[in-house]
Amino acid sequence: MSRIASVLLPMPLPEAFDYAEPEGMALAVGDQVAAPLGPRLLRGVVVALREGAGGNRPLKPVAERLDEPPLPPGTIAFVEWAARYAVDAPGGPLAIALRGARCPKPRPVKVVEPTGVQPARPTPARLKVIETAKATPMSPADLARAAGVSSGVVKGLVEEGVLAVRLVEAVARFDEPDLSRRGSELNPSQAAAAEALKAMLAEGGYKAALLDGVTGSGKTEVYLEAAAAALASDPAAQVLILLPEIALTQAVIGRVAARFGAGPGEWHSDVAPPARRRVWEAVATGRCRIVVGARSALFLPFRNLRLIVVDEEHDSSFKQEEGFIYHARDLAVVRGKIENAAVVLASATPSLESLRNAETGRYRWLRLSARHGIARLPDIELIDLRQTPPEPGRWLSPPLVAAMRETLDRGEQTLLFLNRRGYAPLVLCRACGERMTAPDTDSWLVEHRYSGRLVCHLTGFSMPKPQACPHCGAKDSLVSIGPGVERVEEEARLLFPDARVAVFSSDTVFDAREARRLVESMAAGEIDILVATQAAAKGHNFPKLTLVGVVDADLGLRGGDLRAAERTYQLLAQATGRAGRRDRPGKALLQTYAPDHAVMQALAAQDRDAFVSAEMEERAFAKLPPFGRLAAVIASGTDPGQLDAFVRAMAEAAPNAEGVEVYGPADAPLGLVRGRRRKRFLVRADRNVDLSAYMATWRARVRPPASVRVAIDIDPYSFL
């Protein structure tokens, strides 16, 4: 046992553990191994090897090298960097990187192959089957199709002993992309952007670009041309396309398949474990060259990653808020640096961070200022609800209802946008004023009429809607306050009983298949009015959609945080951009009680630059992102007194550092979640401060009691 192997385990441990390498095992960095930890054997990854002379204690030996693809050096380096940046144990990102490896392998498949025995009746059909089987082993059904015969011919040859059936391990394999296929016809603006990306790829090494194009300008076609160039540069090159929503993956997968004549690997939470294993293994072995996936696809073990595309880069769904906390857009840029790969960030409403990086020259700035073809941006009008409110008990104002009626009369489609799930966001008792909340949580229960249940969207708790108030016992006293998409759908059906109305939200669309079906129905004109949350507000192209009505344009501005205005502008610009995507002019109506707000004025004038300039000026004055850095600390515990004592001690332990300000501790806006009280700190730092190092130093100075949990969030997006 001459060498020591440092093995990183996918557990919340501060560092890799040392094990002895058994004689003859010949480990290499990246190998997956079984290593003992206490009484258990755990899967781990060898991250370093060194000569192991002497030592004051014997080391446990590695139990086994697993017959699994090793993790490439770039993946290991990325996992370790991500942990340092997030001020977390490296086992967290490693667990994400190994998620596919821990999925069950696909079942063995049946293949048939010739035995050498000659058939008693050598008919042309039978001889064709034998010759086809000699070329490559395949399943009986595939063999029959390839030979152009019925399954009975193959079955007869098997029964006669001319062909033998055996079980083989399913090999993860994806069709090679056909790089000879031509892409879509590009307009001059698209062609210029595509050529700029191709030149960037030809230069080699890490480069980043912001592809900034208005909704409908054809950004997808541009980055697919960049993908084609990346794949053509090296027969082993791999491309990753990251998307924020599962609902978007099906449309992009279809466009990738049409462009390259081969489907990409698909990676998101809705993919079944055996299929996820197939993608993971194919990526690790280089047999899958294009992956389309959600944020965790960034941790896949790419062997030769040459291009990363982050589509809708501004979207907050790229932020992982639980477990290992990270932002996939930011980590994509880092993975590009580690892999010497190009990175393309694409959006119609880029984040201020990306715009700032483009302004300062850190990213190349490629702009698409016009829609593709003859389509033009929709006209946007504000409906002042103070002047023209809805009828009592209704949520759609007279001007919006009139516009919907005109749209239906023309045989066109309407999208009613409200970023609030369920029927009503609040249920209270008329008798005592009790607001229904989830047990041990401050979050309000949302009424869902479809299921007849009250649901907590934070914890997942649900219960049937009670007949009487649980607090005072009054019967039939519970009333629904405010609208959700289900309530807006109900109103649309009452107003337009002959219209075909559907709802698109995560409560009504449960998986990628259902999302694809609904999107295809809308695109085919089979729906007249679609009531939707943000799931339908981005990335989709509905040719007959000409009217977008935003039911509550002020929703994102309430409560607020530093990104409230930015997020509201982005979401509403994306939603209104669904209108008028083809040869029909589009129109968007925004219902608001604050028509003079800067966000509403910028949307109505379609003047993004003015909004961005004003928002940047405010952020620069306050030294907030992108002109400063933020981190959050969330401490939670079951004992309020113990938690208070701990956060006071933590405040006293905060390091003194120039350019760093610590605010708190304070009660979190959601002060109680799943029975745990929550306290927050917010840390602001200048751009030249290594905020991760500061937070790591602070964390090392305190040791929380066993019942207190501490989570650090670098660059927080949620302030609850």
Whole-number Å distance between alpha carbons of 369 and 376 = 11
Whole-number Å distance between alpha carbons of 531 and 414 = 8
pLDDT at 537: 67
Instruction: Identify whether 475 is part of a domain.
Output: no
Q: Are 667 and 678 in contact (CB under 8 A)?
A: yes
Task: Check whether residue 307 and residue 383 sit in a common domain.
Answer: no
Task: Check whether residue 9 and residue 30 sit in a common domain.
Answer: yes
Instruction: Identify whether 438 is part of a domain.
Output: no
What CATH number should be reported for the domain holding residue 663?
3.30.70.600
Task: Check whether residue 243 and residue 288 sit in a common domain.
Answer: yes
Q: What is the mean pLDDT of residues 247-263?
A: 87
Task: Check whether residue 121 and residue 148 sit in a common domain.
Answer: yes
**Predicted confidence band of residue 298 (pLDDT cuts 50, 70, 90):** very high
What CATH number should be reported for the domain holding residue 393?
3.40.50.300
Q: Is 418 exposed, middle or buried (0-12, 13-18, 19+ CB in 10 A)?
A: buried
Whole-number Å distance between alpha carbons of 685 and 660 = 4
Q: What is the mean pLDDT of residues 205-218?
A: 90
State pLDDT tens for residues 687-697: 999 999 999 99
State pLDDT tens for residues 517-573: 888 888 888 999 999 887 766 667 788 889 999 999 888 887 657 888 888 888 888
Is the pTM higher than 0.85?
A: yes
Task: Check whether residue 283 and residue 349 sit in a common domain.
Answer: yes
Q: Is 205 exposed, middle or buried (0-12, 13-18, 19+ CB in 10 A)?
A: exposed
Task: Check whether residue 231 and residue 250 sit in a common domain.
Answer: yes
State pLDDT tens for residues 376-397: 678 899 999 999 999 988 999 9
Whole-number Å distance between alpha carbons of 319 and 296 = 10
> Which domain does 150 fall in, by range?
109-168
Task: Check whether residue 26 and residue 152 sit in a common domain.
Answer: no
Task: Check whether residue 143 and residue 202 sit in a common domain.
Answer: no
pLDDT at 218: 85
The DSSP secondary-structure symbol of 424 reads B
- Residue with the larger pLDDT of the pair 105 and 710: 710
pLDDT at 367: 93
pLDDT at 131: 87
Instruction: Identify whether 468 is part of a domain.
Output: no
pLDDT at 373: 54
105: tokens are: 């392998």
Among 577, 596, 616, where does a domain finish?
A: 616
What CATH number should be reported for the domain holding residue 41?
3.40.1440.60
Q: What percent of the chain shows pLDDT beyond 70?
A: 96
431: tokens are: 């008798």
Instruction: Identify whether 413 is part of a domain.
Output: yes
State pLDDT tens for residues 562-605: 888 888 888 888 888 777 656 677 899 999 999 999 999 999 99
State pLDDT tens for residues 649-660: 999 999 999 999
Instruction: Identify whether 268 is part of a domain.
Output: yes
**Predicted confidence band of residue 343 (pLDDT cuts 50, 70, 90):** very high
**Residue type for position 21:** E
Task: Check whether residue 326 and residue 260 sit in a common domain.
Answer: yes
**Predicted confidence band of residue 53 (pLDDT cuts 50, 70, 90):** low
pLDDT at 120: 85
Task: Check whether residue 689 and residue 572 sit in a common domain.
Answer: no
Whole-number Å distance between alpha carbons of 114 and 132 = 10
State pLDDT tens for residues 100-151: 988 887 777 788 888 888 888 889 888 888 888 888 778 888 888 888 888 8
Indicate whether 425 pLDDT > 90.
Answer: no
Indicate whether 45 pLDDT > 60.
Answer: yes
pLDDT at 420: 84
Task: Check whether residue 266 and residue 332 sit in a common domain.
Answer: yes
Scanning the structure block, which residue is given the tokens 């605010």? 663
Q: How far is CA 599 from CA 179, 590, 719, in A?
A: 44, 11, 21
Instruction: Identify whether 454 is part of a domain.
Output: no
Indicate whether 54 pLDDT > 60.
Answer: no
pLDDT at 581: 59
Q: What is the mean pLDDT of residues 449-466?
A: 86
What is the number of structural domains in the chain? 5
Instruction: Identify whether 180 is part of a domain.
Output: no
pLDDT at 52: 77
pLDDT at 650: 96
pLDDT at 582: 61
pLDDT at 371: 63
Whole-number Å distance between alpha carbons of 62 and 629 = 42
Task: Check whether residue 209 and residue 62 sit in a common domain.
Answer: no
Per-chain mean pLDDT for the chain: 89
Q: For 32-121, where are the alpha helices, taking DSSP H only?
A: 73-86, 91-97
State pLDDT tens for residues 468-525: 998 888 888 888 888 888 899 999 999 999 999 998 887 777 677 777 788 888 888 8
State pLDDT tens for residues 156-207: 888 888 888 888 776 667 889 999 998 888 889 999 999 999 999 999 999 9
Instruction: Identify whether 441 is part of a domain.
Output: no
Q: What share of the chain is helix, strand, coil (3-state, %, to 5)?
A: 35, 25, 40
How long is the chain?
A: 720
Indicate whether 1 pLDDT > 60.
Answer: no
pLDDT at 167: 80
pLDDT at 559: 62
